[in-house]
Amino acid sequence: MSAPRRRRPRVHPPARFSGRVYVRLPRPAIARFRFLLEARDNLGLFTAAEAESGLLMVRFSPHQRREMRDFLDSVRAELGLELVFEPEV
C-alpha cells in the first residue's frame, strides 16, 4: 500500500495591485482594529487616510477579498466600523 498523495498548496499568481477598502472607525477603536487585523495572520494592513475622522484605507491581497470581507463583518458591531468605500474588482 502506498501512502496517500499530499496535495500541493494552492499558489496564486502575484497580483498587480492590492485590494483595498475604506472604513471609518471611532478614533479610540483604531488600536483595537490593528490588534484584531494582526491577529488574523496579518490579513491586511492599513494607513490613516484622514486621521482626524478615523478614515482608514485597508490594503490586502486580492485573492483574500472574501476573508477580508468576513473579518470586517465580524468586527463591525464590536468596533463601530462603517464601510465607506469598496472599489469594484
Distance in angstroms between the alpha carbons of the first and the last residue of the chain: 47
Confidence of residue 5 (pLDDT cuts 50, 70, 90): confident
- Please give the pLDDT value at position 26: 95
DSSP conformation class of 62 = G
CATH number of 19-85: 3.30.70.240
Q: For 33-47, what is the mean pLDDT?
A: 93
Question: Taking the model in full, what pTM does it have?
Answer: 0.79
Share of the chain above pLDDT 70, in %: 97
Domain ranges within the chain, ordered by starting residue? 19-85
**In degrees, to the nearest 5, what angle opens at C-alpha 31 toward C-alphas 70 and 51?**
100
The Cα 76–Cα 89 span in angstroms is 22
pLDDT band for 73, please (50, 70, 90 cuts): very high
Alpha helix (H) ranges present in the chain?
Answer: 30-39, 65-79
